[in-house]
């Protein structure tokens, strides 16, 4: 085998795992993203949660100014379009540029890791490991780590189980709203998931997760309703879309096996209530790195055991969902005024 481990995907999960395991094995990291403006940009609200901040703090990592954007916002405006209820809740997110954040994480990886700027096209089992087709070249590796997100090639190749997914659509506009803000929007008429808006460096971003069927029409209908509520959109500067997972229960988490491991959203590790994935990407990468430090043999079993608490925590988020997404319960919570920012 050319490599001990081939990592597919250089997002927060893949970059963190590569950085932690570098120098211990022969590692290849495969991902097409570059600094170029035409390179793939992950559609993302770009908000770093408190749990994700804690993980970075564990490693004494501090964010450079180049990753941050203006403004930093301290509350989320929660909007229930069906009832007209609006409440504000204090949140301690860091507002950042997602693509620059990914590039910063990639820049932390030691030179001992071979960076292959390409898209993995296929992964085929071979004697002693796997063959990964990267287009102009092929590599071999004993282990494959899938860190390639919701539409993971690695998971689709080796596991046929389909997880509940949505189409995340996001548009960028010139900021014309009088005061920058962050919002979380619920509208059961267009989606049983949530939408979001955020101001970033004189841009206004609106996005949401919608069922696959008629997703774009649902998105546009929700925009129309929000415009009636006072949101200012204008002409979109760009439109982005990707798949996002939303696990239903414990069996939706796929850790791996037979030489293939999954981390981050590729494994289903994303909050079904808030769609927050940074913290679970970091935590699963840390856990897998710790498992590999104990050797290659038996790593799958160690990783499955190590992620038990993480998977249990996410099941707790599944149980929280009715209080956010069941219309009657959500309205009762919002009407109670519990934990709201008082006007």
> pLDDT at residue 21 above 90?
yes
Instruction: Please state, in angstroms and rounded to a whole number, the distance separating the CA atoms of residues 322 and 150.
Output: 23
Confidence of residue 61 (pLDDT cuts 50, 70, 90): very high
Confidence of residue 343 (pLDDT cuts 50, 70, 90): low
The C-alpha R_g of the chain, in whole angstroms, comes to 20
Mean pLDDT of the chain: 94
- Span 284-288, average pLDDT: 98
Locate CATH 3.50.50.60 in the chain.
Answer: 3-57+97-163+248-321
> pLDDT at residue 126 above 70?
yes
> pLDDT at residue 304 above 90?
yes
pLDDT at 338: 85
Confidence of residue 45 (pLDDT cuts 50, 70, 90): confident
Instruction: Please state, in angstroms and rounded to a whole number, the distance separating the CA atoms of residues 171 and 134.
Output: 31
The number of beta carbons lying within 10 Å of the beta carbon of residue 200 is 22
Q: List the structure tokens of 237.
A: 């500067």
3-57+97-163+248-321 classified as CATH 3.40.50.300: no
Query: 143-190, pLDDT tens digit by residue?
Result: 999 999 999 999 999 998 889 999 999 999 999 999 999 999 999 999
| Residue bearing tokens 């490991």 | 129
Instruction: Please state, in angstroms and rounded to a whole number, the distance separating the CA atoms of residues 279 and 270.
Output: 9
List Cβ neighbours of 102 (8 Å cut-off, separation of 6 or more).
10, 11, 12, 15, 33, 42
> pLDDT at residue 44 above 90?
no
> pLDDT at residue 342 above 80?
no
Query: Is the CB of residue 203 less than 8 Å from the CB of residue 70?
Result: no
| Residue bearing tokens 């296929």 | 122
Instruction: State the pTM of this model.
Output: 0.94
Say whether 174 sits in a helix, a strand or coil: strand
Buried-state track 212-248, b at ≥16 Cβ within 10 A, e below 16? eeebeebbebbbebbeeeebebeeeeeebbbbbbbbe
Query: 177-228, pLDDT tens digit by residue?
Result: 999 999 999 999 999 999 999 999 999 999 999 999 999 999 999 999 999 9
Locate CATH 3.30.9.10 in the chain.
Answer: 85-93+164-246+323-336
Residues listed for the chain: 343
**In a 10 Å sphere around its CB, with 0-12 CB exposed, 13-18 middle and 19+ buried, how is residue 195 labelled?**
buried
Query: 64-91, pLDDT tens digit by residue?
Result: 999 999 999 999 999 999 999 999 999 9
Instruction: Please state, in angstroms and rounded to a whole number, the distance separating the CA atoms of residues 207 and 45.
Output: 8
Query: Is the CB of residue 286 less than 8 Å from the CB of residue 241?
Result: no
pLDDT at 104: 96
**CATH architecture group of domain 85-93+164-246+323-336:** 2-Layer Sandwich (3.30)
């Amino acid at each position: 085998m050319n490599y001990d481990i081939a990592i597919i995907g250089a997002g927060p999960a893949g970059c963190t795992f590569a950085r932690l395991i570098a120098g211990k094995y022969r590692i290849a990291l495969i991902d097409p993203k570059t600094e170029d403006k035409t390179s793939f940009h992950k559609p993302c609200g770009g908000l770093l949660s408190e749990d994700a901040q804690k993980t970075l703090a564990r490693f004494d990592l501090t964010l450079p100014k180049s990753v941050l954007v203006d403004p930093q916002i301290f509350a989320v405006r929660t909007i229930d379009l069906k009832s007209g209820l609006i409440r504000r809740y204090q949140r301690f997110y860091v507002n950042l540029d997602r693509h620059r954040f990914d590039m910063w994480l990639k820049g932390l990886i030691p030179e001992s890791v071979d960076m292959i700027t390409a898209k993995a096209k296929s992964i085929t089992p071979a004697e002693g490991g796997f063959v990964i087709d990267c287009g102009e070249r092929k590599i071999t590796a004993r282990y494959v780590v899938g860190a390639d997100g919701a539409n993971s090639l690695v998971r689709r190749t080796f596991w046929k189980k389909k997880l509940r997914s949505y189409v995340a659509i996001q548009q960028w506009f010139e900021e014309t709203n009088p005061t920058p803000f962050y919002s979380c929007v619920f509208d059961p008429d267009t989606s049983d998931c949530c939408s979001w808006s955020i101001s970033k460096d004189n841009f206004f971003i609106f996005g949401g997760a919608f069922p696959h069927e008629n997703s774009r029409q649902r998105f546009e209908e929700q925009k129309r309703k929000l415009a009636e509520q006072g949101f200012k959109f204008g002409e979109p500067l760009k439109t982005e879309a990707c798949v996002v997972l939303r696990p239903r229960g414990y069996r939706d988490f796929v850790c791996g096996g037979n030489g293939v491991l999954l981390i981050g959203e590729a494994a289903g590790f994303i909050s079904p209530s808030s769609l927050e994935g940074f913290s679970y990407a970091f935590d699963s990468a840390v856990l897998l790195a710790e498992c590999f430090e104990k050797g290659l043999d038996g790593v799958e079993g160690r990783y499955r055991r190590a992620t038990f608490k993480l998977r249990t925590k996410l099941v707790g988020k599944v149980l929280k969902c009715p209080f956010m997404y069941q219309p009657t319960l959500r309205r009762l919570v919002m009407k109670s005024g519990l934990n709201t920012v008082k006007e």
